[in-house]
Structure 1
Amino acid sequence: MMRKITVIAALLLLAGCGKALELVNQTRVVAAPREEVFKKMFGDGTDTGLPLVTNGGSTKLYELVVEKGDPEWSAVVPKQRPDAYKIKYAVAMEIPREMHILYSIDDGAVTTGLKFTLEELAPDKTRVVFHVDELKGHDTEGLAVNTAKLHAIAYEALKKLKDFDEVKEPA
């Protein structure tokens, strides 16, 4: 009986490793043009749910600042930072080359982010690389939850690439 339970646990662990390995790898090469890959992952860059701050052609910056006292405050303030007074979400997009999500508390006292870079290797071959920014600032305790959320966003974005054929790069 114990052997069966051990085998089942090992199979479940191995099944979950594929997702973990995909995030550890941080790079995926697909057989599609860069513009199509960006559109599949992020749409056309207009539907971020955040107010547009600047638009310099293909460069767009969306930003939402929530301050203590705003009705949305209780939904965005980390439980580990009840003394925080300002949360900022920013999304910077250089369409179709990169997309960067930034999360900061108290005017940059604590900051982290998630960056996707789309590199065109050939007209029909694109390398997608993602990187979670190092958590910077003082008093970062408790913000691992936000880093985990960034990994979840990265996983969901990479999952959208399953429609494209994956290309194996030479070692």
Structure 2
Amino acid sequence: MIRNPILIAALLASAACGKVNELTNQTRTVAAPREEVFARMFGDGSAFSGLPLVTNGGSTRLYELVVQKGEPGFEKMAPKQRPDAYKVKIAVAMEIPREAHLIYNVDDGALQTGLRFTFDELTPDRTRVTFAVDDLTGAGSDGLTVNRSALHRVARDALRRLDEFDEAEAPA
């Protein structure tokens, strides 16, 4: 009798771990030019629409979204286990169209994690997109689990946009 609930719980836990591992490091190759892939993943209508833009004058674009304690939306972004946090920042650095790096900061780097997308042009009509999750750093980083899942939602949305392209095999 008690064996069934334990078996069901084990199956649910292993299914959830599979989803996390699926997103942890992922590489896909699509039949499209690098610029087109980058624009589809991070252009208009993406999670980055409307973020304030700061530029260094080169090919790198820097987007920043900073939310401080007391502002609307702070509760959604701040870790629940860090009620003393006063500032959350998501910075997005894009080396167009080679790389996109999202960095999630709490209290100016006291806790930090991120997502990195790399766009490799294999041929003029084939692009390999590699996705990786940065290691979590900082004291008390277990409070970031909810916010890491928010970053994973952003990553899933960006990777889902790759479905609009034909899948391609990487050349040998």
TM-score past 0.5 threshold:
yes
Q: Counterpart in 1 of 2:3?
A: none
For the structure 1 residues 88 and 161, does the alpha-carbon distance in structure 2 shift closer, same or farther, using more than 3 Å as the test? same
Supply the distance in 2 between the matched residues of 1:112 and 1:25 (Cα, whole angstroms): 14
Q: Counterpart in 1 of 2:96?
A: 95
How big is the shift at 1:134? 0.5
Counting only pairs closer than 5 Å after superposition, residues 1-171 of structure 1 correspond to structure 2 as 22-24=22-24, 26-43=26-43, 48-169=49-170
Aligned to 2:147, the other structure's residue is in SS state: helix
For the structure 1 residues 37 and 170, does the alpha-carbon distance in structure 2 shift closer, same or farther, using more than 3 Å as the test? closer
Aligned to 1:165, the other structure's residue is in SS state: coil
Supply the distance in 1 between the matched residues of 2:148 and 2:36 (Cα, whole angstroms): 28
Where in structure 1 do 4 or more consecutive aligned residues deviate above 3 Å? 19-22
Consecutive unaligned residues in structure 2, runs of 5 or more: 1-6
Supply the distance in 2 between the matched residues of 1:165 and 1:136 (Cα, whole angstroms): 37
**Amino acid of the residue matched to residue 37 of structure 1?**
V
How big is the shift at 1:88? 0.9
How big is the shift at 1:22? 4.7
Give the conservation status (yes or no) of the 8 Å contact 1:48–1:62: no
Supply the distance in 1 between the matched residues of 2:24 and 2:112 (Cα, whole angstroms): 21
How big is the shift at 1:64? 2.2
Supply the distance in 2 between the matched residues of 1:21 and 1:139 (Cα, whole angstroms): 23
Give the conservation status (yes or no) of the 8 Å contact 1:67–1:73: yes
Q: Identity percentage over the alignment?
A: 62
Give the conservation status (yes or no) of the 8 Å contact 1:84–1:106: yes
How big is the shift at 1:139? 0.9
RMSD (Å) for aligned C-alpha atoms: 2.7
Supply the distance in 2 between the matched residues of 1:77 and 1:21 (Cα, whole angstroms): 24
**Amino acid of the residue matched to residue 42 of structure 2?**
F
Greater alpha carbon shift after TM alignment, 66-75 vs 158-167: 66-75
Give the conservation status (yes or no) of the 8 Å contact 1:132–1:150: no
Greater alpha carbon shift after TM alignment, 138-147 vs 64-73: 64-73
Supply the distance in 1 between the matched residues of 2:166 and 2:58 (Cα, whole angstroms): 30
For the structure 1 residues 75 and 139, does the alpha-carbon distance in structure 2 shift closer, same or farther, using more than 3 Å as the test? same
How big is the shift at 1:61? 0.7
How big is the shift at 1:79? 1.5
Q: Counterpart in 1 of 2:4?
A: none
How big is the shift at 1:56? 2.0
Aligned length: 158
Supply the distance in 1 between the matched residues of 2:101 and 2:163 (Cα, whole angstroms): 21
Supply the distance in 2 between the matched residues of 1:133 and 1:57 (Cα, whole angstroms): 25
